[in-house]
Amino acid sequence: MAEVELTEEEIKRGIDLMGWSDDQAKSFMPNLTPYQKRFIKHIPEFFNYKIVQEVVWAKNCARNPKPGDKTVFAAVGMFLPKESTFPGCGFCTFAITQILPFLYVVYDRICSGLDPSPMGINYIKCPDIEPAEGGTGSVLFKVYCIKSPVIVEKDVYREKFEA
């Protein structure tokens, strides 16, 4: 991986977002990995994308999701409840664990300067199993990334950081 150089503005943005003290910044900044530098460089781009986990079908799930129900996250990993329609609180803890690998793909694409939207194999199944096998039901999801700006509400990120 080619060495990544950060501008003073990018360094300040990274320090502010992470909440590092001056001492921590002096200690951490010289030792950042190329991936950490790429991440800091591309922070603003993460606020331009959302990851959607959409129900394709559901069978015997206690939450009773319907095809088209969605759980939506900002590419920075922040849950967006106002945009989520999955029954109840907007997500299922069993199901959201399955999208973590997709988040890393999106991170890597953004940090590489690529469009994170196209995903190849993008269907996942809830880890729960059918009642006949001892579970409570099953849901199939389609996971995809869309370009859509994220509006960050006050106090969601550190005050010094502006998306």
**Residue 31 and residue 111 in one domain:** no
**Residue 73 and residue 14 in one domain:** no
Domain that holds residue 119: 48-147
**Residue 31 and residue 75 in one domain:** no
Could you tell me if residue 88 is inside a domain? Answer: yes
**Residue 82 and residue 141 in one domain:** yes
**Residue 132 and residue 69 in one domain:** yes
Structure confidence at residue 163 (pLDDT): 44
**Residue 53 and residue 35 in one domain:** no
**Residue 75 and residue 114 in one domain:** yes
* Per-residue pLDDT tens digits of the chain, which is 163 residues long: 678 889 999 988 888 888 888 899 889 888 899 888 998 999 889 889 999 999 999 998 888 899 999 999 999 888 899 999 988 877 788 888 888 888 888 989 999 889 998 777 889 998 888 888 888 888 999 999 999 998 776 665 554 444 4
Residue 74 vs residues 7, 47, 114, 152: alpha-carbon distances, Å: 25, 7, 17, 10
**Residue 81 and residue 133 in one domain:** yes
| 22-31 burial code (b ≥16 CB/10 A, e <16) | eeebeeebee
**Residue 84 and residue 60 in one domain:** yes
Three-state DSSP at 49 gives strand
**Residue 54 and residue 37 in one domain:** no
**Residue 140 and residue 108 in one domain:** yes
As to burial, measured by CB atoms within 10 angstroms (0-12 exposed, 13-18 middle, 19+ buried), residue 100 is exposed
**Residue 17 and residue 92 in one domain:** no
